């Protein structure tokens, strides 16, 4: 499945640098509303999805069969797309991009009304759904999240127990101490960067902004910060931890040879002890454990090692947002699918995700967070456009892997420079860009 694509989607929810996209029709303002009587919805709708695995194994077809029981006159057809971002962006230059689709990250937020039918007023939908502000333009919501994901470290509990670790580390230095224990007392690689695939260096780390400070507006504050990497800031703490893991030789020997698919099996088998990811990955690594004959219960999930007033915090990030094509001839049926899929399908729960529906219970995968009173932070997106503009002008790429790959190369001595110099350069570029782009 395209988890690289999913990671991009999670960043879109946080602070993706986006570009406009041509094409699309004029906004009609017609709200896509499901009919009060399910029997009134009719037609064949096409749903575009990045989840090629669920299309191929018949899972999506089973969802459609359940949906059909409630909406007997609607037929749902799925189109799984491997290069979802690339292909759908091109197709959106025409009117042919399905009836329901996941909003590609390349589409600028202010262009949503050109491509998607509004789903309702933001004030109303925000009461019902999490993450609705991610697609709000002019008081209207244009997409509903398929689910959300909490940030944290996946770790192998059996390995950490063997290393003599009994509780979650509460500071970055405590985390590093635990990784040293793993290195000295077990055969496991303490941390795995997934450097080569790249995306695990972007979204999981950047999505930790807000976890350190326990501040829902931490992302917004980047729009007015002259030095986002100043000592004690979220980005400073986050990137310093990554640097120190590598610099102290607590990660794989050669980061240029990492492999994402293999990493799931390595963590499941206890060959590596930890990786920073979203909670969506828990089920995948547990499945890998089952296939490998390992114990899926050994796969744990812990928050970023930082506390505010003695409390752990973890950010919630939105997955892809489902939207209705503004050109769809079956808008009521398309909206009916989105509503049913969000509220009735059980998809979020099965994926170990946090349902967009506020009244839904947290998934079983987040029981460790519930049991340990981890505070979940749904980060504000009020200043995302300004942050994106500054990030783009500074050519840093908070939503990309490049700068953290450079950070790792600096940490392992493959590139000259110190961590202080690295942060100083980022702050200088950010501050200069903010003087023009952020206004």
- pTM here is 0.82
Q: Could you identify the residue written with the tokens 């029709």?
A: 25
| CATH code given to domain 151-316 | 3.40.190.10
List per-residue pLDDT tens for the chain, 439 residues long: 444 444 444 444 333 333 334 334 344 568 999 989 999 999 999 999 999 989 999 999 999 999 999 999 999 999 999 889 889 999 999 999 999 999 998 788 889 999 999 999 999 999 999 999 889 999 999 999 999 999 999 999 999 999 999 999 999 999 999 999 999 999 999 999 999 998 899 889 999 999 999 999 999 999 999 999 999 999 999 999 999 999 999 999 999 999 998 999 999 999 999 999 999 899 899 999 999 999 999 999 999 999 999 999 999 988 899 999 999 999 999 999 999 999 999 999 888 889 999 999 888 889 999 999 999 999 888 888 789 899 999 999 998 899 999 999 999 999 999 999 999 999 999 999 999 885 5
Cα atoms found within 13 Å of the Cα of residue 182, Cβ hemisphere only:
29
Phi, psi of 315, rounded to the nearest 5 degrees: -75, 150
Is it true that 3-147+319-361 and 151-316 share their CATH fold?
Answer: yes
In angstroms, the CA 133 to CA 139 distance is: 9
In the chain, what are the domain boundaries?
3-147+319-361, 151-316
Cα atoms found within 13 Å of the Cα of residue 310, Cβ hemisphere only:
0
Closest CA relative to residue 309, chosen from 233, 172, 214: 214
Q: Looking at domain 3-147+319-361, what is its CATH homologous superfamily?
A: Periplasmic binding protein-like II (3.40.190.10)
């Amino acid at each position: 499945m395209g988890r690289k694509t999913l990671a991009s989607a999670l960043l879109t929810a946080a602070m993706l640098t986006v570009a406009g996209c041509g094409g699309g029709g004029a906004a009609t303002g017609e709200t896509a509303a499901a009919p009060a009587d399910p029997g009134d919805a009719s037609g064949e709708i096409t749903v575009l999805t990045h989840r090629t695995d669920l299309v191929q194994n018949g899972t999506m077809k089973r969802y459609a069969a359940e949906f059909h029981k409630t909406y007997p006159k609607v037929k749902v057809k799925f189109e799984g797309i491997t290069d979802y971002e690339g292909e759908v962006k091109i197709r959106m230059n025409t009117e042919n991009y399905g009836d329901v689709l996941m909003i590609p990250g390349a589409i600028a937020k202010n262009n949503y009304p050109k491509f998607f039918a509004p789903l309702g007023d933001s004030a109303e939908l925000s009461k019902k759904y999490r993450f609705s502000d991610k697609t709000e333009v002019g008081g209207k919501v244009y997409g509903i999240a398929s689910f959300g994901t909490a940030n944290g470290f996946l770790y192998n509990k059996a390995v950490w127990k063997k290393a003599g670790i009994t509780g979650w580390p509460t500071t970055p230095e405590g985390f590093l101490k635990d990784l040293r224990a793993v290195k000295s007392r077990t055969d496991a690689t303490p941390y795995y960067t997934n450097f080569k695939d790249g995306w695990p260096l972007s979204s999981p780390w950047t999505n930790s902004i807000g976890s350190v400070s326990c501040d829902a507006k931490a992302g917004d504050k980047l729009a007015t910060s002259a030095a986002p990497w100043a000592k004690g800031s979220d980005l400073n703490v986050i990137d310093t931890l990554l640097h120190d893991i590598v610099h102290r030789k607590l990660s794989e020997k050669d980061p240029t040879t990492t492999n994402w698919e293999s990493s799931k099996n390595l963590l499941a088998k206890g060959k590596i002890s930890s990786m920073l990811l979203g909670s969506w990955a828990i089920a995948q690594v547990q499945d890998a454990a089952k296939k490998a004959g390992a114990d899926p219960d050994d796969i744990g999930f812990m928050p970023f090692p930082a506390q505010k007033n003695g409390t752990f915090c973890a950010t919630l990030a939105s997955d892809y947002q489902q939207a209705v094509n503004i050109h769809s001839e079956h808008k009521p049926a398309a909206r009916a699918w989105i509503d049913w899929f969000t509220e009735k399908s059980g998809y979020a729960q099965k994926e170990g995700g946090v349902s967009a529906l506020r009244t839904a219970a947290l998934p079983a995968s987040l029981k460790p967070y519930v049991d340990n009173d981890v505070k979940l932070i749904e980060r504000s997106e009020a200043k995302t456009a300004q942050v994106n503009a500054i990030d783009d002008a500074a050519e840093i790429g908070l939503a990309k892997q490049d700068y953290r790959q450079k950070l790792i190369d600096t940490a392992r001595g493959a590139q000259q420079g110190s961590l202080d110099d690295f942060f100083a350069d980022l702050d200088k570029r950010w501050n200069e860009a903010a003087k023009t782009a952020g206004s």
